[in-house]
Amino acid sequence: MKAPTPPIPYSIFANPTTNKAGLRCAALNVMSEYYGVAIVLTAEEVEQLLQKDPGVWADRQSLRLGRCHESGVFWSAEGEGLSILIGHDDESWSVCLMLPFTVLEEIRQALKGLTPWLAGRSLPQGYLGHVPEDYAHLKEE
């Protein structure tokens, strides 16, 4: 599969959230006029995605990082394309997003804004009101 040319216009943003266990996480949203996907990543998964590029799927170098509803999320790259596979594993996935590899830098920038939140310190500017009430006492940076 190849990413569409020209690419479908999209938006990338990340919001603070918590998972079922109450751990601080990042909710990464990849949105377009035609689709929307929300991926929840733990602090450790965010750090891995910030530090390591996904590898080639055929060489078994996909990165398993995040959850989309109850499914795993697998990141792979080849040439100019970034694949985000959602499903049981990277062989029997249910959904695949094909994006230009340059989108990875936009994803990283969105996630970097949440690093204080993920580290337990504070909320980034403009995020107050977008997190569970348990964290309403936090101040924005």
Q: Please give the pLDDT value at position 92.
A: 85
pLDDT at 32: 86
3-state secondary structure of 74: strand
Residue range 18-49, pLDDT digits in tens: 888 888 999 999 998 888 999 999 999 999 99
- Over 90: is that where the pLDDT of 141 sits? no
Instruction: Report the Cα 109 to chain-centroid distance in Å.
Output: 11
DSSP string, 4-68: -SSPPPEEEEEEEEE-TT--EEEEEEEEESS-EEEEEEEHHHHHHHHH-----GGGT--EEEEEE
Residue 90 has a pLDDT of 83
Q: How far is CA 56 from CA 15, 45, 81, 89, 135, in A?
A: 28, 19, 10, 15, 39
pLDDT, tens digit (0-9, with 9 covering 90-100), for 88-132: 988 888 999 989 899 999 999 999 989 988 998 877 666 655 555
What is the pLDDT confidence band of residue 136, given thresholds at 50, 70 and 90?
A: low
Give the integer Cα–Cα distance in Å for 59 and 93.
17
Round to whole Å and give the CA distance between 40 and 24: 10
Tens digits of residue pLDDT in 52-84 = 999 998 898 999 999 998 899 999 999 889 999
Res 84: pLDDT: 95
